[in-house]
Chain A
Amino acid sequence: MLALLSDFTIQNVIIGAMLLGLISGVLGSFAVLRKQSLLGDTLSHAALPGICLGFLIAGSRNLGAILAGALVTGALAALFMVLLTRTTRLKTDAGLGIALSLFFALGIVFLTHIQATGGAAQGGLESFLFGQAAAILRSDLWVMGTITAIALALVALFWKEFKLVTFDPVFAATLGLPVLALDIALTLMIALAVVVGLQMVGVVLMAAMVVAPAVAARQWSNRLDVMVALAAIFGMVSGLFGALVSATARGLSTGPLIILAASAIVIVSLLFAPGRGLVWSGLKRLEDKRALRGRRVLTTLYRLAAEHKDPAYPAEQAMVDAYYGLETRPVLNRLHQRGLIAQVCHMPEQTPHWVLTDQGIAEAEALLGHRDDTP
């Protein structure tokens, strides 16, 4: 393991993957809360024509030029989407979809053109489609690290403003905040996160990296600061996992592994997060169902006792079973455990009989009284 960590290339991949997880987790949280999960998808697909243009202008596989191109076309796509939704009746989802397909199609056209005419100089541009983490250089890390640091500093500095604009943009506007400028800033920063991830996971899978850590983190916390921190951690853990697994196993590429790890965290979170998880709410429903059955059987016993004008009336279990048409033993046992009923003998019958305890009578009266209150 230590030998693995001291390998220069693997170090690069690990650092790159974790930087990507960090920035996309933090900015993805804002994108998801602003209902712009698809924005990441559009920005990443729209980066493709920019990658090609950057390559054409620089004349080589210069990362700076390529990322700048990606940022420019990504921003253009976002602008195009905003124009579409503001000037036509299209809603955001349709606007995002149109911008995505238009820019991605342009990108594919440029890409095939470069492949057909550029000969050997094309330098593996198609690796930006699915990412090629192993090709990452130490100098690339400096670019990614600087972008991440700038984005994180901006989020920390304008935390309160970004929070308010995300939660209640109208109220933010009445306070005099420049909502449009903050909107643009957040969108540009998400575009930056996408650009950082292009080399790692590629344009096709990058959207998942924006959405997955944030969605998972939302499950575990009801506070924005905790959610953003968790999303950053989830993103970094996914990056670390993808980098390590692809380094140890042959023929597994890093990008998709990162996405798979992030998706696994999402699934676990959707199922098991306390309060919001599916398993948790399922258990709660089961519990409620049991409690309801218990309440119904208890009130039945109470009514029987009332009918016989005997608070200590022993109800035969088979009679309760017959009333409900099913086996009530488990329900009776639970009521017994809670001390609401007690088992008695009622000679000459040999079968089990149950009487209400004082506590059980009080509970049944409370239930019935409560029920009478509500029409």
Chain B
Amino acid sequence: MKNDLHEPGLALHVEDLTVSYQSRPVLWDIDFDIPPGVMAAIVGPNGAGKSTLIKSVLGLVKPTAGHITMFGRPYKVQRRKVGYVPQRSSVDWDFPTTALDVVTMGLYGQLGWIKRPGKSEHARARAALEQVGMADFATRQISQLSGGQQQRVFLARALVQDADLYFLDEPMAGVDATTERAIVKILHALRDAGKTVIVVHHDLHTVSTYFDWLVILNVRVIAQGPVSQTYTPENLRRAYGGQIALLDRDNFLNATPSAS
């Protein structure tokens, strides 16, 4: 059995990955690795293929070429070790269900076919809601929650999966500062517990304070490694081109000393 392990020492190993939609490459010849126990950001301009990358890692999009393994094996056999937080806007929040019920959905994979969630599943879901500070909203209909609260419910649904590797697709998009702080705190706690957290992130200003690992993407991998070595004006300019003017200079001044 040992033989079919490929790069087992890495939480995520992506090699020669190419994904194309209608013969136009969205990701081209991507190689990157993320070691276990880090909190990694994937950043890049719009259309860089960040969401496509997450989708192909999770088997939602079929790669044109290349392979991906997690802890040495493909996603298909590692599902139980992976938790996923999709973009909040990917579902209709007017669906008739409660916050607790949504969190319980995180356990459907472990439950298997036909079997209904019971007392122990609901207890675990409740604990996850507690963890994200949403215990009081368990029986709320999900459309009555604010954007930040909905995001926390999604996070709780991933937490209840009790995974080793977490993927989050823009979890900080459109939430207030309090929620953002709460989310970051939970993610840091996960990392400190030895889990690997990979976040598609859109806000360059917070990269160096939230994350310790960085992958800069723009169809190809521009840079990867510890934030202190990769978060440089040079790399960001290569990824973002002209858009780099949007960044304020102070941020770089802060970033550069920590790099040396």
Contact = CB atoms under 8 A, between A and B. Distances in A.
Interface of A: 33, 35, 157-161, 163-164, 166-168, 170-177, 218, 221-224, 226-227
By Cβ-Cβ distance, the 3 closest A-B pairs, closest first, are A175-B109, A222-B141, A174-B84
Nearest to A175: B109
A161 B108 contact: yes
A161 B112 CA distance: 10
Interface string B105-123: 1001101011111000000
B91 A176 contact: no
A171 to B, nearest CB: 6
B84 A171 contact: yes
Contacts of B157: 171
A164 B100 CA distance: 14
Contacts of B117: 160
**Interface centre among A163, A167, A218, by most B CB within 10 Å?**
A167
A272 to B, nearest CB: 18
Given A160-B108, A168-B91, A174 B59 contact: yes
Contact of A174 (B79, B111, B115, B141): B79
B95 A176 contact: no
Interface residues of B, number: 27
Nearest to A221: B96
B91 A222 contact: no
Interface of B: 58-60, 76, 79, 82, 84, 86, 90-92, 95-98, 102, 105, 108-109, 111, 113-117, 141, 157
Contact of B95 (A167, A171, A174, A226): A167
A157 B86 CA distance: 27
A158 B82 contact: no
30 contacts: A158-B113, A160-B108, A160-B116, A163-B105, A164-B108, A166-B95, A168-B91, A168-B105, A170-B60, A170-B90, A171-B86, A171-B157, A172-B108, A173-B58, A173-B59, A173-B60, A174-B60, A174-B82, A175-B79, A176-B79, A176-B109, A177-B109, A222-B96, A222-B97, A223-B98, A224-B95, A224-B96, A224-B97, A226-B96, A227-B96
B105 A171 contact: yes
Nearest to A167: B95
Contacts of A223: 96-98
A33 B95 contact: yes
Contacts of B86: 168, 170-171
Contact of A167 (B82, B91, B113): B91
A167 B97 contact: yes
**Interface centre among A157, A172, A174, by most B CB within 10 Å?**
A174
Contact of B114 (A33, A158, A227): A158
A175 B116 contact: no
**Interface centre among A157, A159, A176, by most B CB within 10 Å?**
A176
Contacts of B58: 173-174
Contact of B98 (A171, A172, A222): A222
A33 B96 CA distance: 9
Contacts of A167: 91-92, 95, 97, 102, 105
Contacts of A172: 108
Nearest to A217: B96
Contacts of A170: 60, 86, 90
Contact of A175 (B108, B114, B141): B108
Contacts of B60: 170, 173-174
Nearest to B82: A174
A171 B117 CA distance: 17
